[in-house]
Structure 1
Amino acid sequence: MSKKVLMAVANYYTSPFQVGSHHYARAFEKLGYEVFFISNPISPIHKIFANSNELKERERIYKKGGESAGGIFYYVPRSLFTPQNKPFLSSNFVLNNWQNFTRPNLLNFIKERGFSEVDILWFDSPLFGFLLDTITYKKSILRIADYSKGFNAVSDTQFKAEINIANKVDTVIYTAKNLKEKYDQIKDKSKMKYVPNGIDLDFFKAADRSLPPQLEDIPEPRVIYVGAIHDWFDVDLVYYCAKNLSNYNFIIIGPEQKDLSLLKKLKNIHILGSIPYAKIPAFLYNSQVGIIPFNVKDYPDLVNSINPLKMYEYLACGLRVVSVEWDQIKDMSDYVYFACNSDSFLNCIESREARQRFHLEHVTWNGKLSTLLKDL
Structure 2
Amino acid sequence: MTVGDRRVLFLSHSHPFGPFRVGSHHYARLLASRGGEVVHVGTPISLAHRITGRARPSDVANVPRGPHRTVDGVVHLVPRTMMPAPLGSFRVARYLEKNGIRGRFDAILIDQPLLWDTSIRGLTDTLIYRPTDLYPSGLKHRIQQQIIDASDGIIATSEEVLRGLGPLGQPTLVLNNGADTAHFASTNEDEGPRPIRCVYVGALDGRFDWAQLSAWAGSHPDVRFLVAGPDADPPSSLPSNVDLLGPIAYDAVPALLHDARVGLLPLSDDPLNAGRSPMKLYEYLAAGLTVVARETPGIKRHEGVGIYTYSGGDDADAALDRALAHASPNDGGVRAASDSSWERKTDELVAFLQRLS
TM-score band (shorter)? 0.7 to 0.9
Percent sequence identity over aligned pairs: 26
| Cα separation, partners in 2 of 1:169 and 1:51, compared to 1, 3 Å | closer
Which stretches in structure 2 are left out of the alignment for 5+ residues? none
Letter in 2 for 1:282: A
The answer on whether the counterparts of 2:114 and 2:143 sit within 8 Å (CA) in structure 1 is yes
Letter in 1 for 2:156: Y
**Equivalent residue, structure 2, for 1:214:** none
| Cα separation, partners in 2 of 1:133 and 1:321, compared to 1, 3 Å | closer
**Equivalent residue, structure 1, for 2:182:** 202
**Equivalent residue, structure 1, for 2:80:** 78
- The 1-side partners of 2:24 and 2:251 are apart by 16
Q: How many residues align?
A: 338
- The 2-side partners of 1:208 and 1:12 are apart by 32
**Equivalent residue, structure 2, for 1:43:** 46
- The 1-side partners of 2:177 and 2:105 are apart by 25
**Equivalent residue, structure 2, for 1:279:** 252
Within the candidate set 330, 341, 347, 1:364 is matched to 341
- The 2-side partners of 1:24 and 1:208 are apart by 28
- The 2-side partners of 1:238 and 1:14 are apart by 29
Letter in 1 for 2:184: F
Runs of 4+ in structure 1 off by over 3 angstroms are: 55-60, 131-135, 205-209, 331-334, 353-358
**Equivalent residue, structure 1, for 2:281:** 311
**Equivalent residue, structure 2, for 1:326:** 296
Q: Secondary structure at the match of 2:221?
A: coil
The answer on whether the counterparts of 1:220 and 1:249 sit within 8 Å (CA) in structure 2 is no
Residues 152-231 of structure 1 aligned to structure 2 (within 5 Å): 156-184=138-166, 187-188=168-169, 190-205=170-185, 220-231=195-206
Within the candidate set 90, 115, 120, 1:99 is matched to 90
Superposition deviation, residue 285 in structure 1: 0.8
Superposition deviation, residue 170 in structure 1: 1.4
Letter in 2 for 1:284: L
- The 2-side partners of 1:261 and 1:240 are apart by 13
Matched, 1:289 2:269: no
**Equivalent residue, structure 2, for 1:68:** 69
Cα deviation digits, residues 274-294 of structure 1 (max 9, x gap): 111111111111111101111
TM-score under structure 2 normalisation? 0.85
Superposition deviation, residue 261 in structure 1: 4.8
TM-score under structure 1 normalisation? 0.81
**Equivalent residue, structure 2, for 1:247:** 222
Letter in 2 for 1:34: E
Superposition deviation, residue 76 in structure 1: 1.0
Matched, 1:118 2:118: no
Q: CA RMSD in A?
A: 2.7
